[in-house]
Amino acid sequence: MSLTVQVAVVTGAGRGIGLACARALARDGAAVVVATPEDDERAEVLAEFEAAGHQVLGTSTDVTSEDDLTQMVQATLDRFGRIDILVNNAGVIGPTAALQDVARHEWEAVMDVNVTGVYLASRAVLPTLLDRRSGRIINIASAAGQIGFPFRSPYAASKWAVIGLTKTLAIEVAGDGILVNAVCPGPIDGPRMDAIIEAKARTTGQTAAEVREQLEGETLLGRLIPAEHIAEMVAFLASDRAASITGQTLDVNAGYRV
């Protein structure tokens, strides 16, 4: 699945799924733009990639900032001359609470990053993709965007919106050779899921161990999912092997709630 000469922008690439995606795309030969506002995380990723001999650029990018996104696109074009792949991964988990206990500012903070950020990043990158009449936009949605997800209403609503945006944009740009898909992870193992589990335990009165066991039991494989498994789907969608896939929502969820 060679991505040699391809340039991939990954938002929120400093940790978790975003970092796993950046590693997989670099492994397959792409130059990678690590677009994240966290300076320490970005510096660590740049050092890792440069030591491995990968082509990499780091940008301080908040996906809710149009100025940041404009600067990211220009910096990428100045360095690499092109953009071929955008992975819209940046996201926040938001509150864990019943809807009536979710404050408006909490709701809006989730929507700003998880939905508006995808829109703004896509809009910023699309002109160069349209000029080349090719490219891939891969949006990281969630299993929560396909099912009811109690105590996580802002997050679930945001990921339903990402899927709708994905399908609509795919229709709009298909004639320009641009493929747009969404990947829906199930419960991902790691610090972020640990925080979600602990928050749900506080909300429901369970122990964290009980919540984790319940979550694992809701997957057919009986386990949480490594971020690297999501990255492999992203790398596949970025490759020529996925040249006839667009407008789709692809699940990587260990059989979560099927």
- Domain segments of the chain: what residues? 7-186+226-250, 187-224
Q: Which long-range contacts (CB under 8 A, 24 or more apart) does 42-49 make?
A: 42/13, 42/14, 44/14, 45/13, 45/14, 45/19, 49/22
Whole-structure pTM value: 0.95
Q: Please tell me the predicted confidence (pLDDT) of residue 1.
A: 62
Say whether 155 is catalytic. yes
Q: Please tell me the predicted confidence (pLDDT) of residue 257.
A: 87
**What CATH number has the domain spanning 7-186+226-250?**
3.40.50.720
Strand partners, 103: none
Could you say which of 49, 80, 151, 155 is catalytic? 155
Low-confidence residues in the chain, pLDDT < 50: none
